[in-house]
Structure 1
């Protein structure tokens, strides 16, 4: 049984500041260790639940955050960027289920730690067929395109609420109770690790019960960008239509292809 873990940093226990999640920040090295240990808890739970293979995809920023020598030895690590599927590199039809560890709420969510959608510098809003999605939804749709369910999401109270509303009765762990964008009441890491390990074990045992997240195609994606110059660049891509000063739209029958177009727009922006 193969599990893919997509690991972000903003939703890790104790993380509340840009300084902690930025490579030049004073607290970044501590945050890396917190992230690695939290991922390890998910790996332990997955193995206890019956997983025979665990792949971890480092999914934050430059995607070189997890400390390899501190990672659980039974896991394999996908590190570095760019990657064709970015936060979901490693997904394919051989994966049985996906965990999202350390995730955050979508851009514009009130009182959510470091809320943004893929790129805080570029994306104001992302919708698919009229549905507003953050990274949880974006990446769950990628998994769904391969017939794979997301069975566990961890992060602050807001992203776990978002995940349940979007994906249904999956396993979630709120490791911190968000107060504002930059403050939270947080669990101690050891307590968070215990809860994540237990939830990961249970999530693996529920595979088959939880269905993949899918939407009916074709997929019309609208992206509200942060400034007009970004839309100027985006509409240079064939098939991309500008529908407002900062909003572009495109449609494709395949969600993976549509997602790659989104990635190209972000890169150009």
Structure 2
């Protein structure tokens, strides 16, 4: 079985503030090691569960956070950005299962540690065919377009609840429980890693349906500032429904994903 592991950082064991996930801050090096360790726990569980190939896709910020020299040598690493499919680079018809490690809940979720939707300073809300989604739902929909299920999600309690509500009876691990946007009660990394390994091994036996979004895909994105929406509206085919909201119709989920990312990139220039 081929497994793709998409690893974000806000939901990593012990991460509670933006200092922990910002490359220019002195705390960052400590937490990129913890990010690598969470990824390793998932890799080890996947291998124990029968995976024959494991690809880890670094999915936070500039996407060059995971320490290759400390990653389990049985895994391959996709590092750097931009990548055609961003957080879902490596997905394809040859992948059998997807893990999301270190994920966070969508913007506005109560108890969500560092909760945001794709770009915290740009996007307020994202909907696919009327359903509000965060990165868990958005990325799961990309996997679903290839017929691949997400079988494991790790992060804070809020994202595990979001994932189960959206994706069904999957394996989840809550490595911390939010007590505020930048505060949480955290498991010790050793405990978190044991739970991730065990859940990843169980996840390899899960038989869950992929999260498939019906096509054509109606996408609705709400931006935080007018200038951001102005730039996003430059995308051909976009429709502006109010000052901050844009909609567009995509023929398939991959096109929807790429177009949304292009909007965010343009919005991020102002």
| TM-score normalized with structure 1 length | 0.98
Deviation at residue 218 of structure 1 after TM alignment? 1.2
Give CA deviations for 1:36-75 in whole Å, capped at 9, x if unaligned: 0110000000000000000000000000000000000000
Mapped partners of 1:73, 1:137: distance in 2: 30
Say which is worse superposed, 161-170 or 209-218, in terms of deviation: 209-218
- Aligned partners of 2:213 and 2:253 also within 8 Å: no
Q: Quick check: 1:56–1:76 contact (8 Å CA) kept in 2? A: yes
Note the 1:176-195 alignment, pairs <5 A: 176-195=176-195
1:212-251 → structure 2 map (5 Å cutoff): 212-251=210-249
SS of residue matched to 1:107: coil
- Contact preservation (8 Å) 2:100, 2:150: yes
Distance 2:235 2:60 in 1: 26
CA distance in 1, matches of 2:192, 2:102: 11
| 1:230 CA drift (Å) | 1.1
Aligned length: 267
> Displacement of 1:110 after TM fit?
1.2
SS in 2 for 1:30: helix
Distance 1:255 1:4 in 2: 18
Q: State how far apart, in whole Å, the 2-side matches of 1:55 and 1:210 are.
A: 21
Distance across 1 between alignment mates of 2:99 and 2:151: 6
Residue 232 of structure 1 aligns to a residue in which SS? helix
Which residue in 1 is equivalent to 2:56?
56
Unpaired segments ≥5 residues, structure 2: none
Residues 154 and 173 of structure 2 are in contact (CA less than 8 Å); yes or no, is this contact kept in structure 1? yes
Task: Provide structure 1 residue ranges, at least 5 long, that are not aligned to the other structure.
Answer: none
Distance 1:45 1:238 in 2: 44
State TM-score, norm by structure 2: 0.98
Q: Is 1:164 matched with 2:168?
A: no
The match for 2:134 is 134
Matched, 1:38 2:6: no
Separation in structure 1 between the aligned mates of residue 78 and residue 232 of structure 2, nearest angstrom: 29
Shift of 1:235: 1.6
Question: After TM superposition, what 4+ stretches of structure 1 lie above 6 angstroms from structure 2?
Answer: none
Q: What SS is found at the alignment partner of 2:176?
A: strand
**How far is the alpha carbon of 1:238 from its aligned partner?**
1.2
Partner Cα separation in structure 1 for residue 61 and residue 205 of structure 2: 31
Residue 259 (structure 1) shift: 1.1
Q: Report the equivalent of 1:88.
A: 88
* Matched residue SS, 2:204: helix
CA distance in 1, matches of 2:56, 2:13: 18
What displacement does 1:103 show? 0.2
Question: Does the 8 Å contact 1:50/1:205 carry over to 2?
Answer: no
* 2-structure distance, mates of 1:264, 1:216: 21
C-alpha distance in 1 between matches for 2:177 and 2:260:
31
Partner Cα distance (1:218, 1:254) in 2: 6
Q: Residue 74 of structure 1 aligns with which residue?
A: 74
